[in-house]
Amino acid sequence: MGECHSVESKNSLSEISVESSEQKRRTRRHSVAADVTGPCSPTSAARPLSRYQRATAAVTRGQASRALLVDETVAEEPVIAPATRLSDFLIPNLAEIGGPPCSDSEPELCVVCLDTLATEPVGVCVDVDGRRTCPHYFHLACLQQVEGCLCPQCRTRLWRRAPLPEPREEPSVWLRLVSLSGEDALCPKDVAAALGALLPVPLDRLETFVLASWHGWTKGETLLREARIPAVAAAIERALPVMSTYRAPLRLRPTPSGCDSTAKMSLHAAQSAPGTVCDCGRIHALRGDRVRRGLAWTNGDRDGGAGNLGTVVRCDEQTGLVTVRWDYSTEAEPLDHAWPFNPSNHEVVHAPFSELGRPRPQVRGREPWEQEPQLFDHVRVLPDVVEVQQLFDSRPICGCAQPKCRRAFQWSAAAGRHVGRTGYVMQKDSAEGSVVVEFTGRCHCTLSFPLGAVERVQDQDSGVDSPRFAVNAKVECRLVDQWFLGTVMRLRWREKGWGDRRTAPYIVRLDDGRTVFAPLDSDGCVRESSGQADAVVRVSLQDRQRSSPRTRQSTARRSQSGRSVTPRRAGQNAT
């Protein structure tokens, strides 16, 4: 009925009897079930048992497993006997453990990608205290790709996605992430489940191995404490897969310009990824792109030093120049660098949006743009995608159940593709700790982010961060060919859909009741009040014609010429 196989162990070769597949099917349901639940009878049919119950019954019935335990007379330092190392259990020793493994035994799989868990770094779902929220393991990269803040298998609320470290290197962290009871101690089931995620070994064999080794690991105690985790690590060290790191980078589906927005395709330069050659043969640089020094760099340390990153303000391919504002440069204004057709002559080269760059230098005091972002401020999403994801996961879930609720936004692949990008704050909710950002450059997407996920950066346009007039200052605004008296109501103004257009520095309420914004902070557009403006007259028929729908199309053209324009939303035209 059976056949013999030669199995090489650490000490010697032994012949182990292996039952046939037919005998396995009979013993799987009746033999093991009879030992655990009692004899089978017509009134109590045998029920299928879990792998953990079958392993417990096998060790209970197989007295030969006592020989596998560590001698209790050894020193305090864990010494693992050769027979209790996991490498000796990789081949099923049925004669000693007292029962066959499950016929459908296979290593544990990641339910997201359906690949073996042990092939990649493993991650788990944790709560605000860093404890497990559910018993499931996943590939860390797969778990980080899951949108929302729920476990992809049981839909339990998660607050963070944590990597499972190697038990020998970080035993305390490993203990907290493996324990399902919330205590700093592990039961055999917790350890077997964790080893099933770390090792390419069927779970039923691991459960048998854990139960056979438990007395030696715990020194007779019921639960496994942190001080005894090195014994577990020593037992599995030779079976652990070789990995360069136990932390996997977040994988996102590649797209040409980093997002799925179709509106960006109307711009030819946005159809190619940053730093790649376009179909026209040129490498395009767009507003908001991140750059660093190139091979043709000739500007010394004007960029703030080697390793510093900068942001493209504008690129003029006709003249072959790109204007860059460097992060920590001592230069007050952006710098121009060579950007000819030949890429080998570029003074700067593209850097990934997710690159962290050089750490911020420690200086006394804070710059104005380093404070908390406000409405219409220029901001950058943090380049660390894992940190941004954790800020999303830690947000409380809104209970209003409204499909268009802005407070219900969660982590998504779209948010992950916009890390490191710059844009403008279009809405801010301080109570909820969230902002709505409209991006510039390669896409003009509008997304919601936690307030802590964005940092205020210096505006790319000169003069926006240092206005000449304060709130409530008396000024004169130029509309068409006349100057009108008014009062500065607020600093900064933007409207949805402006994209790469510069931020208006002022909102001004005129003395005749109208509200306008100044597109430029120059004397040709807005100036200090002299008390001799032409706005003391009533609104004329010409003003009424300017407010008609036919003339609204010329609003953008007038703003580019340096003339104040009435806001479409905030202002009200005189009639």
Q: Is the dihedral of CA 423, 424, 425, 426 positive or negative?
A: negative
pLDDT computed for residue 529 by the predictor: 86
Which of 34, 35, 95 has its CA nearest to residue 67?
95
Sign of the dihedral defined by the CA atoms of residues 58, 59, 64, 70, in that order: positive
Question: What CATH number was assigned to the domain covering residues 271-355?
Answer: 2.30.30.40
Question: Crossing angle, helix 203-218 and helix 51-61, to 10 degrees?
Answer: 50
In angstroms, the CA 560 to CA 544 distance is 22
Helices assigned H by DSSP within 372-523: 385-393, 413-416
Phi and psi, residue 110, nearest 5°? -80, 125
Strands 335-338 and 321-326, how do they pair?
Answer: antiparallel
What's the rounded Cα separation, in Å, for the pair 460 and 120? 42
Check: CB of residue 53 under 8 Å from CB of residue 34: no
DSSP SS3 for 172: helix
Give the model's pLDDT for residue 29.
37
User: Which candidate, 400, 329, 403, places its Cα nearest to that of 361?
Assistant: 329
| Threshold 0.75, pTM exceeds | no
Measured CA to CA in angstroms, residue 551 lies from 543, 544, 545 at distances of: 11, 10, 7
Residue whose structure tokens are 């030779």? 238
Close Cβ partners of 403 (under 8 Å, ≥ 6 residues apart):
none
Burial of 259 (0-12, 13-18, 19+ CB in 10 A): buried
Beta bridge partner(s), residue 126: 132, 160
Instruction: Tell me what pLDDT residue 126 has.
Output: 94
Alpha-helix runs per DSSP H in 146-250: 171-178, 188-198, 203-218, 229-236
504 to 376, 391, 422, 464: CA distances (angstroms): 9, 31, 18, 8
Tokens of 456: 């205020």
Chain CA centroid to CA 45, Å: 51
Beta bridge partners of 482: 479
Cβ atoms within 10 Å, residue 342: 10
Find, among 159, 111, 166, 155, the residue nearest to 132 by Cα: 159
Spell out the domain ranges in the chain. Answer: 122-240, 271-355, 370-394+412-460, 473-528
Cα separation, 36 vs 219, in Å, equals 26
Q: Which residues of the chain have pLDDT under 70?
A: 1-105, 241-266, 360-370, 398-408, 531-575
Q: Decide: 271 and 282 in contact? Cβ < 8 Å.
A: no
Measure the CA–CA gap between 105 and 204, rounded to whole angstroms: 7
Give the model's pLDDT for residue 569.
38
Q: Determine contact, residues 409/366, Cβ cutoff 8 Å.
A: no
- Quick check: 202 and 107 in contact, CB under 8 A? yes
**Dist. CA 366–CA 239, nearest whole Å:** 52
Q: Which residues face 132 on adjacent strands? A: 126
CB 472 within 8 A of CB 488: yes
370-394+412-460 in CATH: which number? 2.30.30.30
What pLDDT is recorded for position 356? 83
How many other β-carbons are positioned within 10 Å of the β-carbon of residue 345?
13
Question: E strand or H helix at 557, and its extent?
Answer: helix 555-560
pLDDT of residue 192: 92
Query: How much is the pLDDT for 19?
Result: 38
**Amino acid 281: pLDDT:** 86
CA gap 86, 105 in Å, rounded: 17
Tell me phi and psi for residue 179, to 5 degrees.
-70, 130
Residues with Cβ < 8 Å from 103, sequence gap 6 or more? 21, 24, 25, 28
Of 413, 409, 460, which Cα lies nearest the Cα of 435?
Answer: 409
Q: What is the CB-side half-sphere exposure of residue 427 using CA atoms within 13 A?
A: 13
271-355 and 370-394+412-460, same CATH topology: yes
Give me the pLDDT at residue 102, please: 44
The encoded tokens of residue 137 equal 């393991």
